Every structure is written in structure tokens, then in C-alpha cells.
Structure 1
Amino acid sequence: MSSATRESSAESGPTRALPRWYLTLFSTDALERFGFFGMQAILVLYASAPRSEGGLGLPIGESAALFGAWIGLMFMLSHPGGWVGDRVLGQRPTLVLSSFLGMTAYLLLAVPAGWSTAVGLSILAISGGLFKPNHQGMINLMYPDARRRESGISLMYVGIQVSALLAPLVTGYLGERVNWGLGFSVAALSMFLCGLQIALSGRQFGGVGAGPSRPLDQQERTRALRIVLSLAGTITALLLGLWASGLLSLMVVIAIAGISAVIAPIFGYTLLYRNKELGGGDRRRLRAFLGVFLGATLFWMMNAHASSLLNLFARDHTDRVILGWEIPASWLQSATPMFILVLAPVIAMSMPRIGGKNNLAVKFSIGLVLMGGSFLLMSVATTLAADGTLVSPMWLLIVYLAHACGEVVVAAVTIAAAADVLPRQYTSRVLGLLWLFAGMGGGLGSGVVQLATVMPEPLYYLMLGSVATSVGLFFALRRRALTRALGPDGPDESGPGRVEEPPAPIASAP
């Protein structure tokens, strides 16, 4: 499809009639997210359920760490996933491959065995790493106009929340009340339909995304193959060595994934900071934005608790009986997307009025304080439940309301601010770093959550809530300093990297 054709399609974008290719991207994104949120709602419950009930029988600490390590690994693999679409296969073939890999992974999760869970989650991390950047890449390629592209992505974000709302209701009921494998199988079906739709809709996109935009030359292919084989060989040798020595266990694998998720953003940030094309002003802003990266790490690490410890709290410590029927614990996972759907328009209208000149620091502070406050509230809830008393689910609903408000604010303000840190040609790399640091949150969370098994839960939530609230208040106190540090180049700071480029692709929250 030519640029002119894409422009013609864009004329009937989401603000007018919806073109067929947009409906395809919208529905496939909703299907992929349905599988993701459905699995997210039941994974920790399944892992911690007794073997007699079809679960894996893992301790609570290991079950909670499992999700954190997996989400960190998936974020980390999004970088090479985007490279595969751009340089090796093309976006659409990569999306088809990702969909059927995801289907295979969910079917493996449906097998109640430790080995199938480990293999399934590994394949699912690869699938997620391939899907998200290339799906966003297709939107960017099909919408040459930035305003319509942003409108299209915003509409898709609504579709994602609808999937996040419905998926736990379906997979949660089937998994908790019928069979865990059936819950994962529904997620597999959604990925099969996703892959089938993309495979059959090629004519809607013309030639866009059908092949790599910048194919590897022979030297690059050889180098890439050497790197892939080296990494695969190193990982295989490490796992075989641990197995031969009797040290291989689920917690060791989780630790390896967590450490990798921590190392990757540090390496990526250092590499970008040392780029010779950046000027003094660029490096100043990048140093200042490191605080935002780390704040985002803390926020997403705590946000991931919704699918681990908070999910287990819903199962074990809340009174979920309504009119004589006990609702599945996983259904409470639908609260956050429901709140986002209701409150996002209100928050979007309010956002321009908040912060003034210190826009980023003030809004980021609000998001962190909301997250910290929700954990302080959980400290009270776990204290009330410590003697075995079942508490009202309203405690969790208020916590999820705070998460929803914080997520909308933090995701929007960090993505928007990332576009102004470095010259336009580096924006995708800054956004990629933002999600790598979010992945670091998952990696760190897989270790931090273990503290809940060795210390009283009220103290655990009090500690994390106090940290997040303190960091949020620190951003508020240092708002003017952060604004100055992120300001434009001074007369002596211009570097060779500051050149005008077309607007960079717009990314959305994962």
C-alpha cells in the first residue's frame, strides 16, 4: 500500500468511518489482550491451588513471584520482538507467528504439570514480546497523520479495557469453578482467532508490514545468528548445569528471569547515554529522566501485586458471598478496567489543568501517592483479616480504584514526557527504555514479594506503601528542579543529535 493509499485510508480513520484494516487491528488487539488478562486473572490462583484441586500446589510466595518474573521477561523481550518485525520477518508475519505461539503456550499451561507451566510461560513471554511492538508498529505505519494515529490508539485502549473487564469473568469462572485447564484453553482459543484473522486479512493492508522494512544484509544476518546461538547456548548450558548439580528449581528460574529483567534496562540506559551523537542538553535531560524511569519501576512493581498477592487476598480473606452465591476471586480483577473505562474520560479532561509548568513532576507524584496510599490501606485490611476474619471486598475495590486512577495518570504522563527527552529520532528508544524499566519492576517484584512470606503482611504493605508515598512526595517537592533539568538546550548545550525529524510513533501502555 502506497503512502497515498494509507493517507486515503486515514481520512476515514476512527474520527469518521472505520476502515477494515483498523477493525482488524482493533479486534486482534482485543483478542490478544483477552488471552493475556484471562491468564493473568487465574495464573497465581492456579499455581497456588492444591494438586488435589488441579493446581500446581506451589507455596504462596513462589506463586506470586512467578507472575512478576514472567511479566518482567515479557517486557524485556519486547525490544528484540520489535527488531524481528522491523528487520527479519515484517510486522504482519511476526504477528501471525506470535499469535500461534501464544495459542501453544496457553495449551501448555492447560496441562497441570510443572514442566508444561515453565515451558508455556517461556513461550508466552516470547509471544507477548513479539506481538505488542509489532501491533503498535502496524498502527503507526497505517496512520501517517499523528493526530488520527493518536485517536486510533486511544480507541484501542478502550478495547483493551473491555477485554480486561470481560476476560477474568470468563476464564476466572471456568478456571475456579470448572477446570483450570479450561480457563487457559479459552485464552488459547482467543489467540487462535487472533492469528487466523491476521493471516486472512493481508489484502486489507496491501504490502504494508508484509516484509521487513530494512532487511538484514548478509553480514548482519551472520552477526544476528551468532548472537542468538550464543545466547541460546549460554542459557541451555546454564540450565543443564543447574539440573546436573541438582540446583535447578522454579525459584532459581524465577531468580534468573528477575535478574535479567533488572540488568536489561541498566544496559539499555547506559548504551543510550553514551551515544556520541547526543549533546550536553540531551544527556542532562536523560539524567533527569532516570528518576522518572525508576519511579515508573516502583509504580509498575506495585501495580503487579493486583494479579499476585491481592488476588490471593481476594481468595483467602474476603467475604465474596452475594445472595448466597460466592463469586470467584478472579472476578475482582475486572474492577480496575471497569474503573478505567468509567474514569478515564474524566481524568483526561482534568489532566491539562493539573501541574502547570511542573506538569510531569506533579502528575507523577499524584500517581505514586495514589499507589502508596492503596498499599497503606491494604495494611489496615490485612490487619483486620489477620485473625481469620473475612473482610468486605470493598477494601479491595477501593484499592483497585486508586490503582486505576494512578495507572491512567502515570501511563499518560510518562509516555507524553518521553517524547521530549531526546531528539525525535531517539523517541522510540526512550519509550522502549520506559517499558524496560517497567519490566524491571516485574523482575524486582518477583523478589520483593518473597518478603510477604517472612514478615507480617500488614508490615509488608505498610513498608511498600510508605516508600511509594515518600517517593511521590519527593517528586512534588522537587518539581521545579525536575522541570528545569528537563528544559530545552541552553546556548552551550546543542549537540549533533538535535535535528528535526517527523513525529515519532506514539506508544500505548502495555
Structure 2
Amino acid sequence: MSSDAPVGARPPAGKTFFGHPRALSTLFLTEMWERFSFYGMRAILVLYLTAAVADGGLDIGESSANAVYGTYNAMVYLMALPGGWVADRLIGARRSVLWGGVVIAAGHYVMAIPTGWSVFAGMALIVLGTGLLKPNISTMVGDLYERDSPRRDAGFSIFYMGINLGAFIAPLITGFLGEKINWHLGFGAAAVGMTFGVLQYVLGRRNLGDAGARPADPLLGADRRRALTRIGVASVVVLAALLVLLLAGWFTVDTVVNLLTVVTVLVTVGYFARILTDREISDTERSRMKAYVWLFVFAASFWLIYDQAGSVLNIFAADQTDRSVGGFTFPASWLQSVNPILIIIGAPLAAALWLKLGHRVSTPTKFAVGLVLNGLSFVLMAAAARAAVGGDLVSPLWLVAVYAIQVAGELSLSPVGLSATTKLAPVKYASQMLGLWFLATAVGDAIGGQVARLAGAWSQPVYFLTFGLASVVLGLAAVMFTRQIRHLMAGIH
């Protein structure tokens, strides 16, 4: 039987995990702890940035805090591109995941240091580490299946459940420690979680077989030395640019955020141009990449709205919801656990649904459903904001309902998008294509961080209604282009 798995990968045999390769359990648990650390820190980040200095925060203002949050998320996913390249050309996905986990843990430990600068230094390390880990662990999941297997979407949905198990537990722990005791103690809990993830990955590596063991397209000899030299030079240039900004007095939060937003968009355009003009990929692969451009735009638009849960909606939870239960006011960040617990419940149902439907529902159609549902969540949020006009505290059930709608949209788009990326990827760009998928989140978050500034300038009902309706319209437009996109996908469903 022939296999379309990426070059160098052989799905391990032996015991199974929910009917899937046993290696999925190792990757599931590694991703669970990595997401514990990521979402645990993220749940309290904006609240820490906006908290008064007297309360242990940085007091930088909601507008700038929302932009920092969006840009930080963007950088996390932007670094997935070089992270995928490092795996493809230098050290392989397996070692990239290991070293990424180590650097992420170090970043969280730095954030636990109770000083202002430690947060930004720690975030920089987390960005670098996540770039190595995030795309490559997903590539390894893809290595476990044949490229067009119907079980592939189901496997990614189970993997997605691991992501959300960590995301559910994390805010409950870091939120309580951060909001009720000390912000840096909350960041420290995230560090411990990532440490568990690294240890679990090392202990479970025997399950992985050949998955991620070797670079897909390794650089050798002079080419390798030349690439390492260029990396060194680029690093020096970046550090020099930061030094210039600092000495010129331009090194402000807003300046850096705006600069990184522009960089994210330019990198995206440049990377697509590079792949589409690469003469080493076949005409079929190029056609599939043209289809992927559409999916990318849809995904970026989805994340622009969706990831405001940790910024605009998190601040709404802190300032405008009644969180008192029996005399206890629970942390606002606890509401960040609603989304992942709903995904944990819904992911197996989505996996079963996609397996039953098989190829009868196309990937573009699933993306369109995700966009429409995402937009409707913000339309409902507009009603919640209107109920809070005048200073009234509203029930947190408004946010629960908003997150429920978003989860339905996410399960239609995100795990399916991961799977589609591995199926549409040119062989030459296997790991890097996973980086490109995460770049959709980077673009959405970077632009979303700038858009979130409008939440303070516009009335909240107008803000939520405007972007909610825009997403619904885009989703309906996606339905109209489904046939053309499927044609470009050249036999991939």
C-alpha cells in the first residue's frame, strides 16, 4: 500500500490511542502542557498590563494593552515560519519540539521574576520557543497518517482536545494565583506546566517511531554553513535595530507594536510570493497553494475576532460582569476556561461528524460556517454590551453564550485547517506550511490588536456589531466561492 505521508515519516505501529497511533498520546500530552503554559499566562496578561501599579500591574492603558496582547500573539505564530524552516532544513521536527519546549519554560520562569522588565523579556523567549514547537508538533501528528485519509481530520480533532484540556485547566490556576495573590506567581505556575510538558515528551519519545526524526529537506556542507551565517547576521541586524530605536527614544510600546504589525503582514505577502513562484514545485502543488491563499484569508479574518477573547472580552469580564457567587468574586480570567471546556466536549463530536461525512462536506464550506458563527458571536456580544451601558454589571452567561458560538465556529475551521494545510502543502515546504497556517493567526492577531484599539474609541455595541456583521458577510461570500476553491485544490477534499 502506498503512502502520501511526508518524506522521512513512517507512522509507528503497535498500541493505539483512541483507535489512533500510540504516538498521538505523546504529542497530545506535550501539546496539552505547552498550551497550559501559554493560555495560563495569556489569561492574565492583559489584566496584569492594565492593573494599577499599586495592585502590582504595569498600568499601561487598555488601548496599548490590547495592542500588546494582539502583537504578542502574532509574534508567537509568526515565529512558526522560521521554526518550521529550522525543522525542515536543520534539525528535524522532533528536536525542534524539544528545544522549543525548553526555551518556552525558560521564558515563563523569567516572567515569574517580580520586576516590570521580566514580563517583556519572558514573552520574547516564549515567542522564540513556541515558533520551534508549535508548527513542528502538528507536522508530527500529520506524519502519523496518509495524506488523504479520512481518519486524519479525526486525529487532528483528538489532538485539538489536548490543546484545550491544557487551556481549560490553566486559567483556573494562574488566574486565581495572579488575580488573588500575585501576578508573577501566576506566571510561575505557567512555567511549571511547561516543565511537565518537556519531561513528558522526553519520556514518551520511544512511541514516536520515525515521525519527525529527520529534516524533510536537510541543508548540508557549504549550504548549511551559509544558512547559519545568514541567521547570525540577521540576528545582529535585529539587535542593532532595537538598539537604534532605544537610543533614539523611539522604543515605546506603541512604536514596537506598530512596527511588528507591519512586519507580520509583509512577511506573509513575501512568503506566499516565494512559494507560488518557486519553480521546484509542480503545477498541481501551485494550484493547491492558490486555493490555500483563500483559506488563509478566511482563517486570518476568523482569528482577528476570535482571539479578542483574551483582550477586549477579558477586560469586559473584569469590568462589566457580575462575578459574585455566594460572597466570592471569582477571577475574571476564569471565564477564559469556558471556551476550552466547550471544545473538549465538542471536539469528539466534531471528529465523529467529519469522519461520518467524509468528503461530502468540503474544507471551504467548513471555513465558511466558521466565519458566519464567529460573526454571530460578536453580534450577540453587541447585545451584551448594550445591556451594560450605564455601568450595570451583566451576567457572565452573556460571555458563556458568546464563547459557545465561537467554539462551534472554531471546530468548523481550526482543526480542519490544520489538516488541510498538511494535505495541500508542497512536499518541499512540509513543516514550513504548518508555520504558514499559524501565520494566519499571526496576521489576524496583529491586525486584531490594532482593531481592538477602536474598542475604546467607539461605543462597545457599535464596535461588536460592526465586526460581527463583517464576519458574517465574509462567510456568506466564502460559500459563493466554494466551487472555485475546490477546483484549485486539485483532488484534495
Residues 1:374 and 1:154: Cα distance change in structure 2 (over 3 Å):
closer
Q: Distance in 2 between matches of 1:463 and 1:118?
A: 32
Secondary structure of the 2:452 match is: helix
SS at match of 1:248: coil
* Map 1:141-180 → 2, pairs under 5 A: 153-180=156-183
Secondary structure, counterpart of 2:458 in structure 1? coil
State the partner residue of 1:506.
none
Moved more, 107-116 or 458-467: 107-116
Query: Does 2:387 match 1:374?
Result: no
Kindly provide the CA deviation profile for residues 82-121 of structure 1, in whole angstroms up to 9, marking residues without a partner as x.
3323443444443332222212211222234442222111
Deviation at 1:198, TM superposition (A): 3.6
**Cα shift at 1:357:** 6.4
Alignment of 1:344-383 (within 5 A): 344-351=347-354, 359-383=362-386
What residue number does 2:33 align with?
31
SS of the residue corresponding to residue 247 of structure 1 reads: coil
Letter in 2 for 1:69: T
Aligned-partner Cα distance in 2 for 1:366–1:207: 36
- Per the alignment, residue 73 of structure 1 pairs with 75
Specify which of 48, 55, 58 is matched with residue 57 of structure 2.
55
Shift of 1:166: 0.9
Which residue number corresponds to residue 95 of structure 1?
A: 97
C-alpha distance in structure 2 between counterparts of 1:355 and 1:143, whole Å: 15
How far, CA to CA, are the matches of 2:334 and 2:169 in structure 1? 9
Offset of residue 299 of structure 1: 0.2
Aligned to 1:452: 455
Which of 1 and 2 has higher RCO (CA within 8 Å, sep 6+)?
A: 2
What is the alpha-carbon distance in structure 2 between the residues aligned to residue 206 and residue 416 of structure 1?
A: 21
Distance 1:321 1:313 in 2: 15
For the structure 1 residues 96 and 483, does the alpha-carbon distance in structure 2 shift closer, same or farther, using more than 3 Å as the test?
Answer: closer
Render the CA deviation track for 1:295-348: whole Å, top value 9, x for unaligned: 111101111101111011001000111222211111111111111122233344
Question: Is the counterpart of residue 341 in structure 1 residue 338 in structure 2?
Answer: no
CA distance in 2, matches of 1:292, 1:111: 41
Deviates further, 302-311 or 28-37: 28-37
Q: Which runs of 5+ in 1 are unaligned?
A: 1-5, 489-502, 504-510
Residues in 1 aligned to 2:87 and 2:27: alpha-carbon distance in whole angstroms: 16
Secondary structure of residue in 1 paired with 2:17: coil
Structure 2 contact 135–434 (Cα < 8 Å) conserved: no
Matched residues in 1 for 2:457 and 2:164: separation? 35
Question: Which stretch of structure 1 is more off in the superposition, 213-222 or 395-404?
Answer: 213-222
Deviates more, 1:326-335 or 1:283-292: 283-292
Aligned to 1:296: 299
- Using a 3 Å threshold, how does the CA distance of structure 1 residues 201 and 393 change in structure 2: closer, same or farther? closer
| Distance of 1:286 and 1:84 partners within structure 2 | 21
Over 3 Å counting, the alpha-carbon distance change for 1:264 and 1:363 in structure 2 is same
Partner of 2:127: 125
**Residue 184 of structure 1 aligns with which residue?**
187
Gaps of 5+ in 2: 1-8
SS of 2:453's equivalent in the other structure is helix
Q: Is 1:247 matched with 2:277?
A: no
**2:403 is matched with which residue?**
400
Aligned match of 2:446 in 435, 438, 443?
443
SS at match of 2:306: helix
TM-score by length of 2: 0.88
Contact 2:291 2:486 survives alignment (8 Å): no
Q: Which amino acid aligns with 1:262?
A: V
Residue of 13, 16, 19 corresponding to 1:13: 16
CA contact (8 A) 2:12 2:207 kept: no
Map Cα deviations across residues 178-235 of structure 1 (whole Å, 9 max, x no partner).
1111111111111222223444556666887667576532312322222212221221
Letter in 1 for 2:44: I
What amino acid maps onto 2:300 in structure 1?
Answer: T
Is residue 14–residue 155 contact of structure 1 (8 Å, CA) maintained in 2? no
CA distance in 2 between partners of 1:177 and 1:259 (Å): 37
The amino acid of 1:299's aligned partner reads F
2:136 alignment partner, SS class:
helix
From the CA coordinates, give the structure whose radius of gyration is larger: 1
In the alignment, is residue 325 of structure 1 matched against residue 331 of structure 2?
A: no
